[in-house]
């Protein structure tokens, strides 16, 4: 019997793995649990057996696939070039075809794909936040709404990808980006009609919805030459959705390339810097973040790197499996508390929301902090 096309692709991706095991110590789930089945090598072998039909799926085995954070640290160290991110999506696509996701995952997917509904619910959440018990506060309080900054009129113009949850949570960051870009001689506009990038859906095995959301954004950004992203977790999906129609650039890297136009005032402060998995392993803009922060005279930057290699946010996992997500976050919070840092910077929205729900210091995007340090 011939395999289905998706299974054939899954087997082809799995066959790239030479089972050397160099990925094990780079994997946060393996470092947390110490189990082969919680490693990339173990998951690759499991997915391959499923695709070939040599092992029947079981609830326990499904859990090992569910636990994967999609951090892709394994890709960064793999000598064979295994495309683990693509393999994980294929495995979860087949998994979803035979098993309905949990209600929390389904609810999150429905909400982020409907911008108006999501905005309304987050607005209600912001108003009710002071009255809610801790158990009903899965996310930090959204900031007050703010208008989208008007383009500055500079000759160079870029388009900004906003996203879904970021619409409510990143208004201060968008204003900060506009100030930085204006200082660099660039105007920013946020096209109407855009929405979720589709990463959350694709990573949960709903590739069709992810592609549909990418098509919506492709229409919204038609004609744009350069599109900036603010969340490292969205960057790859935005680029794939636009299909080369525009140059998609991480906003940190974009500004780092124009760093000589930015002048920062001396700031004697100790800050903690968290570099998200997607920024390190996918976008590769972590060096740009360090370069920009190094331009601030007097700034003391403490790398936040304790624990297992990931903060545990992993898109929706901080909401669907909060106890496990908190276990990844705990060592980082301990390091933050011991560092004496007065704020925490991280370039991915999911990571910031995960940290902000438990941290005792302000949590910001690096660009929001840098805008505050701009010289008048």
pLDDT at residue 155 above 80?
A: no
Segment 7-43, tens digit of pLDDT: 899 999 999 999 999 999 999 999 999 999 999 999 9
Residue 5 — very low, low, confident or very high, per pLDDT cuts 50/70/90?
low
CB 195 within 8 Å of CB 215: no
Segment 215-241, tens digit of pLDDT: 999 999 999 999 999 999 999 999 999
Residue 244 inside a domain? The answer is no
Residue 49 inside a domain? The answer is yes
CB 9 within 8 Å of CB 42: no
Nearest to 25 by CA among 73, 69, 66: 73
> Please, what is the end-to-end C-alpha distance for the chain in angstroms?
70
Segment 103-133, tens digit of pLDDT: 999 999 999 999 999 999 999 999 999 999 9
Check residue 200 and give its pLDDT: 96
CB 162 within 8 Å of CB 234: no
Token pair for residue 185? 């001689």
Check residue 104 and give its pLDDT: 95
Range of the domain at 279: 261-372
Residue 245 — very low, low, confident or very high, per pLDDT cuts 50/70/90?
confident
CATH number of the domain enclosing 304: 3.40.50
Q: Domain ends where: 73, 98, 123? A: 98
Cβ contacts of 125 within 8 Å, gap of 6 or more: 139, 141, 142
CATH number of the domain enclosing 64: 1.10.1060.10
Q: What is the pTM of this model?
A: 0.94
Residue 318 inside a domain? The answer is yes
Is 173 strand, coil or helix? helix
pLDDT at residue 49 above 90?
A: yes
The pLDDT of 329-352, averaged and rounded, is 98
pLDDT at residue 252 above 80?
A: yes
Q: How many domains does the chain have?
A: 2
Q: Is the alpha carbon torsion for 228, 164, 202, 80 positive or negative? A: positive
The pLDDT of 55-84, averaged and rounded, is 96
Q: pLDDT averaged over the chain? A: 95
Segment 207-216, tens digit of pLDDT: 999 999 999 9
The pLDDT of 48-59, averaged and rounded, is 93
Residue 174 inside a domain? The answer is no
Check residue 3 and give its pLDDT: 55
Residue 192 inside a domain? The answer is no
Segment 159-196, tens digit of pLDDT: 999 999 999 999 999 999 999 999 999 999 999 999 99
Segment 271-297, tens digit of pLDDT: 999 999 999 999 999 999 999 999 999
Cα–chain center distance at 266: 31
Instruction: Quickly list DSSP for 347-376.
Output: S-HHHHHHHHTT-SS-EE-HHHHHHHTB--
Q: Domain ends where: 80, 98, 116? A: 98
Residue 70 inside a domain? The answer is yes
pLDDT at residue 6 above 70?
A: no
Q: Domain ends where: 98, 118, 144? A: 98
Radius of gyration of the chain (CA): 21
Residue 363 inside a domain? The answer is yes
Residue 152 — very low, low, confident or very high, per pLDDT cuts 50/70/90?
confident
Check residue 82 and give its pLDDT: 97
Residue 89 — very low, low, confident or very high, per pLDDT cuts 50/70/90?
very high
CA–CA separation, 165 and 350 (whole Å): 9
Nearest to 161 by CA among 346, 349, 368, 295: 349
Residue 80 inside a domain? The answer is yes
């Amino acid at each position: 019997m011939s395999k289905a096309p998706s299974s054939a692709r899954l087997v082809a991706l799995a066959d790239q793995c030479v089972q050397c095991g160099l990925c094990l110590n780079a994997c946060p789930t393996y470092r947390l649990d110490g189990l082969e089945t919680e490693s990339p090598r173990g998951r690759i072998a499991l997915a391959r057996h499923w695709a070939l039909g040599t092992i029947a799926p079981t609830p326990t085995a499904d859990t090992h696939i569910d636990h994967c954070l999609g951090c892709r640290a394994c890709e960064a160290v793999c000598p064979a070039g295994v495309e683990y991110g693509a393999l994980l999506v294929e495995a979860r696509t087949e998994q979803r075809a035979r098993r309905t996701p949990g209600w929390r995952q389904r609810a999150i997917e429905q909400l982020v794909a409907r911008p108006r509904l999501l905005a309304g619910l987050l607005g209600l959440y912001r108003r009710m936040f002071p009255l809610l018990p801790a158990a009903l506060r899965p996310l930090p309080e959204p900031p007050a709404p703010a208008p989208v900054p008007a383009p500055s009129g500079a000759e160079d113009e870029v388009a900004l990808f906003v996203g879904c949850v970021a619409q409510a949570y990143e208004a201060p960051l968008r204003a900060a980006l506009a100030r930085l870009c204006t200082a660099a001689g660039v105007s920013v506009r946020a096209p109407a009609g855009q929405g979720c990038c589709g990463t959350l859906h694709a990573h949960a095995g709903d590739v069709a919805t992810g592609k549909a959301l990418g098509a919506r954004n492709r229409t919204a950004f038609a004609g744009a030459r350069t599109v900036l992203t603010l969340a490292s977790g969205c960057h790859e999906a935005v680029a794939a959705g636009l299909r080369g129609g525009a140059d998609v650039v991480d906003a940190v890297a974009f500004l780092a390339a124009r760093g000589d136009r930015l002048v920062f005032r001396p700031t004697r402060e100790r800050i903690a810097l968290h570099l998200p998995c997607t920024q390190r392993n996918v976008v590769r803009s972590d060096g740009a973040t360090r370069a920009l922060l190094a331009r601030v005279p007097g700034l003391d930057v403490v790398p936040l790197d304790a624990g297992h290699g990931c903060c545990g946010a992993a898109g929706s996992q901080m909401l669907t499996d909060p106890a496990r997500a908190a276990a990844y976050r705990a060592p980082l919070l301990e390091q933050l508390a011991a560092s004496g840092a007065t704020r925490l910077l991280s370039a991915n929205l999911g990571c910031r929301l995960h940290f902000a729900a438990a941290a005792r210091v302000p949590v910001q995007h690096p660009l929001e902090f840098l805008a505050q340090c701009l010289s008048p």
